[in-house]
Structure 1
């Protein structure tokens, strides 16, 4: 068993693996380097399932941790850590279950981690509760005592797409039977059985399956909502010498020919909307194409959801643009109406002022002494002027 001294971080991770309530998995990507270092020393093991690994202690790891804790137990801080562990639970219960430590120093954080480890190791957490904390490495440290069992890590359910080992041609799904599959005759039955399984699983998920257009090289099209995903089959090949090109038995064979490898591969159509995403699944030394069909469905579902979110965002953007246009049009109508009213008001005020001035002028003209020779002409002029004032005066017309 390795007795090489571990650093504080490695000891902390080993304690979490041995005594922690929450398992350490590949979701904790920041701990991967430490996990690999512990695994290289034989202190932990990692098991892989559904593309994810989880860490578990070995017997050597448990003995190493016990030996380390035993050799460090006489430290003066150990009794205080044990007493602080019990005090922490009391403080949490008195503070409605939450303790907030503002931006502690690295040494204080390490001390609190030891206290939290002591709480769990000594089983001080009250029944029916669990501890959670945030700010392990930076920021404020918040420790919470919550009712209920500790939350487990959400792991995607293990999904399988069963492919029958044998299937009569007449029972094939119509889309699988009509599919164009560029593969050798020996691989055709297997490829159609895979397509048959894909069709039935897709329809069980309420997806739509069908064959592509004649001009397409795809074998099958799966449609989810407004998104369609063409699937294409490929068969690998390898080169071998071609003796048919040699005319004489002693002649060196230089020609080569290709032969099918009987290794099938399914691929999603490459699009720039999903660049960087995985798009090929096939036979390998460690697995067969059938084993990767669930991953293919997960990728299709991811792409469909991404397309839906992108379409929703585009619709929201278009609606925002439309609303901005409607608002601008309403503002333009309001401004146009305001301008029209101002012009009308100015014209009415000007006409009223002119009519008022004309009447005042007529009153002054009537009061002026006019000679008998000019009386008739003056009276006619005043009559016309007053009639003109009445015509241009907006007030009798009840303007709006």
Structure 2
């Protein structure tokens, strides 16, 4: 068992902070956090309970002390954080007495014989791993490239930066108006960016009133109540679930959002059955961007799922529920580490968490809208670059065509000059011969006509005209990878 005096690594501190916050759903990914919690339990920081109702962990008094002070109770306040040892005490220092006052002056106060221990310099507060990450990002100009950890068993060999980022987003450690994003790089690398937050994601939590009794349910809630094969809730908890859904969809419509029952999956090739995890129960649309929500009782399967997987097994029963209701966003988990599941807890019931549910729906809609705008902007930019590349290729084609015509005319002109000089020499030779030859005269006449046709300056100079409408094949040679982005 690890010594209690050693400090926690980044993964352990993230799990301890998460447990101290009440183990909120949607923060921890995978199952490695449970192994970390066991390690924290061995160091008497938490207690772990494995019950039929689910896995739970709570802080001990030692764990609470560690979160408040950043050290174990058995560590001195000035303990070295790296190894848990103590720093040597500062040496005692004597203070010299002031010089004696001249005679006649007022009597100076007696100097103390010795001073107490030298005052310790103020020790800077140790940054948490998340705070250190933010500081490193700020110092690096908002972009930091790191290595992702390798795992031996369930324990990372280095800093789990992705878990730190989830903790930073979950617990509000990111500076206001900014966000942390990651990009996976080759060779197990990770690029972390501190950039401006998406517009519209700074959403305020607004109340969602839940009535004790509902005389008339919202039409969508009525549809949900009648779609019994999708229920993942026992009959005992169904009335409370209906009230929660009624409060949620009513408030969503009051804010101008659209609410409907989650549709059946698309039919046709690759048809799949409805599942709560993939399709949810209700869909809330904000500005045309939808989020599917699922409401369930922990431990309860839906009748549709039960009948598909247990058609030769026992009959469907509603006695497996734990009484804990949960609402979750379907699809992939919490974006950027935010909570995507809300359930009944020891301190708060699910009704108290409905404002956070609607806030997450609105944040996701703002992110989707921003992503759509960015995609349109990138498409427009790529099209602009494509058009510019086509125009540049056309200019390069015209330049090359003019150059080709110039060199062709110069070459023909030079050949014509040489041919005329040769014909003059032929005539001189023929004139010196004693007998004439009609065939030679005919050939000389033809040769003169051919040379005149070859000479581009015989009938005066005319500016050559290049083709202004080249074919795609003609332009292809003048398109470069840098100027012409690939089609996606």
Check conservation: 2:329, 2:340, Cα contact below 8 A.
yes
Counterparts of 1:320 and 1:272 in 2: how far apart (Å)? 31
1:367 offset after TM fit, Å? 5.2
Question: Residues 334 and 186 from structure 1, CA distance in 2 versus in 1: closer, same or farther, beyond 3 angstroms?
Answer: same
Check conservation: 1:236, 1:263, Cα contact below 8 A.
yes
SS of aligned partner of 2:232: coil
Counterparts of 1:340 and 1:371 in 2: how far apart (Å)? 48
**Alignment match of 2:329 (pick from 256, 268, 271):** 268
Q: Residue 361 in 1 paired to residue 426 in 2?
A: no
1:393 offset after TM fit, Å? 2.1
Counterpart of 1:162? 209
TM-score by length of 2: 0.42
Counterpart of 2:239? 189
Alignment of 1:290-309 (within 5 A): 290-309=351-370
Counterpart of 1:175? 220
Counterparts of 1:226 and 1:346 in 2: how far apart (Å)? 62
**Alignment match of 1:349 (pick from 381, 402, 410):** 410
SS of aligned partner of 2:435: helix
SS of aligned partner of 1:265: strand
Q: Residue 219 in 1 paired to residue 296 in 2?
A: no
Q: Residue 381 in 1 paired to residue 443 in 2?
A: yes
Counterparts of 2:363 and 2:413 in 1: how far apart (Å)? 74
SS of aligned partner of 1:342: helix
Counterpart of 2:249? 199
Q: Residue 231 in 1 paired to residue 293 in 2?
A: yes
Check conservation: 1:270, 1:279, Cα contact below 8 A.
no
Aligned length: 244
SS of aligned partner of 1:221: strand
Gaps of 5+ in 1: 1-32, 38-106, 111-138, 140-152, 239-256
1:316-336 per-residue CA deviation (whole Å, 9 max, x = no partner) reads 444444444444444433333
Counterpart of 2:19? none
1:310 offset after TM fit, Å? 3.4
CA root-mean-square deviation: 4.1
Alignment of 1:13-28 (within 5 A): none
Name the structure with the higher helix share: 1
1:277 offset after TM fit, Å? 2.2
Which has the higher relative contact order, 1 or 2, with Cα contacts under 8 A spaced 6 or more apart?
2
1:364 offset after TM fit, Å? 4.5
Larger-Rg structure: 1
Counterpart of 1:338? 399
SS of aligned partner of 1:166: coil
Question: Residues 312 and 345 from structure 1, CA distance in 2 versus in 1: closer, same or farther, beyond 3 angstroms?
Answer: same
1:156 offset after TM fit, Å? 7.0
Check conservation: 1:222, 1:228, Cα contact below 8 A.
yes
1:272 offset after TM fit, Å? 5.4
1:387 offset after TM fit, Å? 0.6
Counterparts of 1:300 and 1:290 in 2: how far apart (Å)? 16
Counterparts of 1:225 and 1:158 in 2: how far apart (Å)? 19
Check conservation: 1:237, 1:258, Cα contact below 8 A.
no
Counterparts of 1:211 and 1:308 in 2: how far apart (Å)? 22
Counterparts of 2:392 and 2:333 in 1: how far apart (Å)? 40
Question: Residues 158 and 352 from structure 1, CA distance in 2 versus in 1: closer, same or farther, beyond 3 angstroms?
Answer: closer
Name the structure with the higher strand share: 1
Counterparts of 1:183 and 1:364 in 2: how far apart (Å)? 111
1:158 offset after TM fit, Å? 5.5
Check conservation: 1:182, 1:233, Cα contact below 8 A.
yes
